[in-house]
Amino acid sequence: MSEKSNATDKKLKQAIDARMAVEDARKYQVDTLTNFSAKLSLSCKGLDTELDNRLAKFRNALTKGVSFEHLSPLIDETIVLLKNQESVQLAQQRDLYTSVLNAGKQLQKTKGLPDDTRRTLRHLLDHDINNVHSTHDFIPLLDKLVSFYHQALNTKLTGTSSEQCDATPELAKKLLELANDLMLEDEAAEEVKYIKNNITENDKLDALLKAAINIISVVVKNITKERQSAQSFLASLNQTLEDLHHSIVSTSKHSKSMGVEFDSLNKSIESKIKNLNIQTQNATSISSLKELVDNELKSLSQDFIAKEKLEREDRETLISSFDQINSRIGSLESKLTKYKKRLNEQRFKSLLDSLTKLPNRAAFDERYNHEVHLFNVQTSDVTLAVIDVDHFKSINDRFGHTAGDITLQVIAKALLKSIRKSDFIARYGGEEFVLLMPNTTIDSAAAPLEKLRKVIKSIPFKFRDKQIEITISLGATQFKKGDTPIIAFDRADDALYEAKNTGRDRLCISK
Ligand SMILES: Nc1nc2c(ncn2[C@@H]2O[C@H](COP(=O)(O)OP(=O)(O)OP(=O)(O)O)[C@@H](O)[C@H]2O)c(=O)[nH]1
């Protein structure tokens, strides 16, 4: 090979190597640019669709190997979009700052946040939030804030579930029953009635709590009044006893001092009589004797007059102090009688249901236990019936609690009027009544119980101009040997349950 051709080959090889180096460099640059644009697309993804599209186009152009002249406008457009994005982000950042600050302040007002959470929250709002320079910086703050909200929500749900709670009909019912059992008079009775009338089964727990607190305040006020009245009774009793004591002491003092005066008068009379005796024996003439006797008799008669006066005074003083004592004892007696009467009235009232004026559950329990006991020793027939007003809740719901109360009063009156004198009826609670029929077998009780059912059904109830028929269901049983109060009651209750489940407005018997 010639020297010339060798030199040409060498040059060619150098040219090829240089070209390959240029191509490699270009490929490296294109790859770097593609990578860069891919990364940029990824971090800008979702910020702006226009920017997304533009970056996708740019990447595409790079992979297709489009010349730089073609790429340049794409780059310019992307730069404009990125600049826009910068101002959009700044605005968003400002909004985010305001809303995080507001949310945090709102959260600070929430009760029940743990102390350390409250401290961290304050630090977040006073310091951390001011060190935020990009939207991304908000992420840890938002994370904290969400966790604080979570805590606050938890505290609220567990601590003050009453506010969130739905209506609690069972509690409303219980509260009404307890309020019914309260034995109050006059003003207090009216106040409790008013509170009761505002209780409904749709009341939430906090409303029921408020009603319960109001009832408790009335009861406390009433107890204080009762206590004050008992205290003033005791004070007046005490005063009367003290007066009595004074009268007796002064009478006895007076008697003692009288005794001393009587003694000295008696002594003086005695000595004068003695003296008269001596003088009489020593007398020398009738005239001197006469004069002596005259003088001594005068003095003696003065003593007797004084003695008689003293006796009269003593008698009068004694009579007047006995009169005083008598009148004080009389007033004591009348106070005691009044108090006894009041206690009896209260005991009587405590056994009466305040709404219907029928005996209440306590009175029934007393009588019922007694009847079960008598039955077990004497074995006379006793029938027990449990009576429940049907769908009573709907009366309350449709026409209000006051209408419900009046309905119960009317039913109670009708029941009382329709039973025999020897029967015993009581309001057991709510819309439930119990009837004890001594000396009655279950077979002979069926007819009067059926009559009760019909009597109630035929009452022409009218609410808001609407004629309403109200019915009752009855469950009855007869006492059996070995029955305990609970066993017999459960049997009657089962029969009532059957009456309710088989259509209501009926009597079911459990033998
Ligand atoms: N107005 C008034 N309602 C009362 C009184 N005591 C209890 N209640 C209400 O009586 C209703 C009894 O309802 P439930 O036990 O559901 O029975 P019901 O609606 O009669 O239905 P059934 O017995 O199944 O026929 C409840 O709404 C109680 O609030 C009260 O003294 N006055």
Smallest CA separation from ligand 1 atom 10, residue: 393
What pLDDT is recorded for position 162?
A: 46
Q: CA gyration radius for the chain?
A: 54
User: Domain range spanning residue 286?
Assistant: 165-350
Choose one of 402, 431, 506 to mutate for the ligand 1 pocket test, by most ligand atoms within 8 angstroms of C-beta: 431
- Please identify, among 143, 159, 175, the residue that sits at the C-terminal boundary of a domain: 159
Q: Mean pLDDT of all residues in the chain?
A: 85
Structure tokens at 389: 């007003």
- Do both 121 and 179 map to the same domain? no
Is residue 298 one of the residues assigned to a domain? yes
- Do both 145 and 193 map to the same domain? no
Give the tens place of pLDDT for each residue, 209-262.
889 988 888 888 888 888 888 778 778 778 877 877 887 888 788 888 888 888
Domain count for the chain: 3
Q: What percent of the chain has pLDDT over 90?
A: 26
| pLDDT band with cut points at 50, 70 and 90 for residue 161 | very low
Smallest CA separation from ligand 1 atom 7, residue: 430
Smallest CA separation from ligand 1 atom 32, residue: 405
Lowest mean pLDDT among 376-385, 447-456, 489-498: 376-385
End-to-end Cα spacing for the chain: 135
Lowest mean pLDDT among 43-52, 100-109, 184-193: 43-52
- Please identify, among 159, 181, 215, the residue that sits at the C-terminal boundary of a domain: 159
- Do both 265 and 124 map to the same domain? no
Is residue 355 one of the residues assigned to a domain? no
Choose one of 396, 457, 493 to mutate for the ligand 1 pocket test, by most ligand atoms within 8 angstroms of C-beta: 396
| CA separation, residue 342 to residues 188, 222, 229, 391 (Å) | 17, 15, 11, 39
Using CB atoms within 10 Å of the CB of residue 511, give its burial: 0 to 12 exposed, 13 to 18 middle, 19+ buried. Answer: exposed
- Do both 206 and 119 map to the same domain? no
- Do both 20 and 139 map to the same domain? yes
- Do both 303 and 233 map to the same domain? yes
pLDDT at 191 > cutoff 80? yes
Using CB atoms within 10 Å of the CB of residue 159, give its burial: 0 to 12 exposed, 13 to 18 middle, 19+ buried. Answer: exposed
- Distance (Å, whole) CA 346 – CA 355: 16
Rounded to 5 degrees, what angle do the CA atoms 455, 457, 460 make?
A: 95
pLDDT at 188 > cutoff 90? no
Pocket of ligand 1 (CB under 6 A): 173, 176-177, 180, 201, 355, 388-393, 396, 401, 404-405, 408, 430-431, 500, 504
Nearest in space to 193 (alpha carbons), one of 399, 401, 347, 411: 401
Nearest in space to 99 (alpha carbons), one of 76, 128, 129: 129
| pLDDT band with cut points at 50, 70 and 90 for residue 37 | confident
pLDDT at 164 > cutoff 60? no
- Distance (Å, whole) CA 252 – CA 17: 151
Is residue 119 one of the residues assigned to a domain? yes
What pLDDT is recorded for position 1?
A: 54
Is residue 224 one of the residues assigned to a domain? yes
- Please identify, among 130, 159, 188, the residue that sits at the C-terminal boundary of a domain: 159
Contact 436, 375 (CB under 8 A): no
Mean pLDDT of 166-170: 75
Closest atom of ligand 1 to CA, residue 394: 19
- Do both 102 and 51 map to the same domain? yes
What pLDDT is recorded for position 163?
A: 46
pLDDT at 422 > cutoff 90? yes
Closest atom of ligand 1 to CA, residue 179: 31
- Do both 138 and 188 map to the same domain? no
- Do both 114 and 200 map to the same domain? no
Is residue 477 one of the residues assigned to a domain? yes
In the three-class reduction of DSSP (H, G, I as helix; E, B as strand; rest coil), residue 266 is classed as helix
- Do both 94 and 188 map to the same domain? no
- Do both 137 and 186 map to the same domain? no
Most confident listed range (141-150, 171-180, 266-275, 337-346): 266-275
- Do both 302 and 322 map to the same domain? yes
Q: What is the CATH number of the domain that holds 416?
A: 3.30.70.270
Among the residues of 182-204, which ranges form H helices? 186-197
